[in-house]
Amino acid sequence: MPVKISSGTLFGIEALGVEVEIDLSRGLPAFSVVGLPDRALQEARERVRSALVNSDLPYPRRRITINLAPGDQRKEGPQFDLPIAVGLLAAQDMIDPANLKDSFIVGELALSGEVRPVRGIIPLLELALELGSKQFIFPAGCKSQIPDAGSIKFIPVTSLSQALEILQNGKEIPDWRPTFKYSDFLENEKISSGDRESGTRNRETLAGNYKGIRLENIKGQQRAKRVLEIVAAGQHNLLLIGPPGSGKTMLARALAGLLPPLKPEEAREVAVIASAAGINDWMEGGGIKRPWRDPHHSISMVGLIGGGKTLTPGEVTLAHQGVLFLDELLEFQRNVLENLRQPLEEGYINIVRQSYNVRLLADFLLVAAMNPCPCGNFGRLDKECKCSHYRIADYRGRLSGPLLDRIDIHLEISALDAEQIVFPRKKGPTTAQVHQRVLKARKIQQERNGGIWNSALDFQQLEDICRLSQKEKHFLARAFNKLGLSARAYDKILRVARTIADLDCSEELNADHLAEAIIFRNLDRS
Ligand SMILES: [Zn+2]
């Protein structure tokens, strides 16, 4: 009777079930693996053999057949080493098959018999839970990434010999529990937006958790800081226009610290994606952070969107629940950028290839940056721009329309901030202060919009929520005529003005809110 063990393979950001069947038969000693294995699986034969021999465990001198089912499913990764080795021991009557019945086993083996960490431990755990497995046998090196989720016995192992000892005698299973829960994230949010007195210390902790750039460390740029506050409050996509050295990257980085803490389900999504992509520093010991991704402009379609022969998640998925920063926006290939339309509108990306058709999460805040003109000196006080008006207009006109349609705020910044020269010691808001205002404005939106951020309201919802009086309508009409704003600007101005009013804790949308929002539509002016 062949031995059967449950395991799994990664496909994008999820794991698919694989049954490892081990059969020993008479005949010349041989070791074959069937079921569409990739190169790593062929190499598994060598690792399994050495690991058994070097652990002083018997290696069967018979005909070994390993079948990975289902056969039509493409499999990748070295995580089948441990189930194969354990299966070989069971096939030689060293483990009672009853002990394997409800086990889900993953782990790569070193030649010494040591069990090495594998990529995608969280999707693999979710699969084990879905299959109703009773125990999860996994590399001890993955312990810090394991969330306390579902009812399953966790068995971290460091070596093949240890796995054998545990499986031979169920009583010796060490009692280990994960150190974090996704629901811990809900606690974080309650504290930070909750009552003021006890909130102070926790606010500090929260802001301190973020090891990025803080607003208080950026000199001047008061207007840009205000814009970051609006962006974070209403989840508005942002385009920064400024010469090299004006601090565009620094500002984009500071934004990450202003966003609200992750909710439990968001934390789970980020953890699953990070785990599948092998980005472990996002989530060590449950310290799951909002991602910040800044791909280079030479990135390929597959790199940005995802795909490839074995389906790898792209930057849009890696940035899920976080910030995607595209510096030098006009240097990206236009056809690559066109693919951002779906994630920006729907919050996911469909990837269709010959061998698969899949939907991956891709809900992020977009921050794009570009130079103000071809030479980059437009608006600088210390250098001269020699670009003609025509060239500048042509340069800005190269921005992809569909992409521009999803960006609510344009901010033009100069290399030498005038405020910085005139009021060098003017103190701006701190990251912790702005973070609190952002949480408040988000709470207002949550309650009023039914879980939709202002940036995602459709036109009808927007009209219903904003309800402009005659006075405000006249004000807007005058501004449109005077500044030559395009029709495209109208709903974006309303959306941003709504967020400004929410930051103001004002139910009414007044002319001040509209006036501030109008400033952010630079590129719509004729
Ligand atoms: Zn120029």
Q: Are residues 160 and 234 in the same domain?
A: no
| Ligand 1 center to 412 CA (angstroms) | 14
| Ligand 1 center to 242 CA (angstroms) | 11
Within a 13 Å sphere around the CA of 257, how many CA atoms are in the beta-carbon half?
25
**pLDDT of res. 484:** 81
Q: pLDDT (tens digit, 9 = 90+) per residue, 42-67?
A: 788 899 999 999 999 999 999 999 99
| Ligand 1 center to 513 CA (angstroms) | 33
Number of domains making up the chain: 3
Q: pLDDT (tens digit, 9 = 90+) per residue, 183-230?
A: 887 655 444 443 333 333 343 334 334 457 888 888 888 889 999 999
Q: pLDDT (tens digit, 9 = 90+) per residue, 274-289?
A: 999 998 776 666 678 8
**pLDDT of res. 98:** 86
| Ligand 1 center to 376 CA (angstroms) | 5
Q: Name the packing angle between helices 459-466 and 431-449 (round to 10°).
A: 100
Q: Are residues 427 and 474 in the same domain?
A: no
**pLDDT of res. 437:** 95
Distances in whole angstroms, Cα of residue 277 to Cα of each of 12, 40, 107, 523: 8, 17, 17, 37
* Residue 414 belongs to some domain of the structure: yes
**pLDDT of res. 196:** 38
SS3 401: helix
Q: Are residues 217 and 275 in the same domain?
A: yes
| Ligand 1 center to 481 CA (angstroms) | 28
| Ligand 1 center to 485 CA (angstroms) | 24
Q: Are residues 405 and 482 in the same domain?
A: no
**pLDDT of res. 33:** 85
Q: Are residues 93 and 204 in the same domain?
A: no
Q: Are residues 68 and 20 in the same domain?
A: yes
483: pLDDT strictly greater than 80:
yes
What is 201-270 written as a DSSP string?
A: HHHHHHHHH--S--GGGS-S-HHHHHHHHHHHHHT--EEEE--TTS-HHHHHHHHHTTSPPPPHHHHHHH
140: pLDDT strictly greater than 80:
yes
Count of H-run helices and E-run strands, the chain: 21, 18
Last residue of a domain, one of 121, 146, 172: 172
| Ligand 1 center to 390 CA (angstroms) | 11
| Ligand 1 center to 276 CA (angstroms) | 44
Q: Are residues 200 and 72 in the same domain?
A: no
Q: Are residues 435 and 485 in the same domain?
A: no
| Ligand 1 center to 479 CA (angstroms) | 28
* Residue 179 belongs to some domain of the structure: no
| Ligand 1 center to 239 CA (angstroms) | 18
pTM of the complete model beyond 0.75: yes
369: pLDDT strictly greater than 50:
yes
522: pLDDT strictly greater than 50:
yes
Percent over 90 (pLDDT), the chain: 55
Last residue of a domain, one of 172, 207, 224: 172
Q: Are residues 108 and 206 in the same domain?
A: no
Average pLDDT score over residue span 173-182: 82
* Residue 388 belongs to some domain of the structure: yes
| Ligand 1 center to 292 CA (angstroms) | 30
Mean pLDDT of all residues in the chain?
A: 87
* Residue 181 belongs to some domain of the structure: no
Identity of the amino acid at 226: R
| Ligand 1 center to 248 CA (angstroms) | 17
- Residue in 12, 10, 17 with CA at minimum distance from that of residue 348: 12
Q: What is the residue range of 316's domain?
A: 189-448
Give the angle subtended at the CA of 65 by the CAs of 62 and 66, to the nearest 5°.
Answer: 135
Lowest mean pLDDT among 142-151, 193-202, 421-430: 193-202
| Ligand 1 center to 240 CA (angstroms) | 16
Q: Are residues 487 and 441 in the same domain?
A: no
Q: CA–CA separation, 399 vs 200, rounded Å?
A: 44
Residues by chain with Cβ below 5 Å of ion ligand 1: 373, 375, 377-378, 385, 387
| Ligand 1 center to 377 CA (angstroms) | 5
292: pLDDT strictly greater than 60:
yes
| Ligand 1 center to 488 CA (angstroms) | 27
| Ligand 1 center to 375 CA (angstroms) | 4
Q: Are residues 441 and 464 in the same domain?
A: no
Q: What is the CATH number of the domain that holds 81?
A: 3.30.230.10
| Ligand 1 center to 374 CA (angstroms) | 5
| Ligand 1 center to 391 CA (angstroms) | 8
| Ligand 1 center to 382 CA (angstroms) | 13
**pLDDT of res. 58:** 94
443: pLDDT strictly greater than 90:
yes
Q: How confident is the model at residue 424 (pLDDT cuts 50, 70, 90)?
A: low
* Residue 417 belongs to some domain of the structure: yes
**pLDDT of res. 156:** 94
Q: Are residues 506 and 523 in the same domain?
A: yes
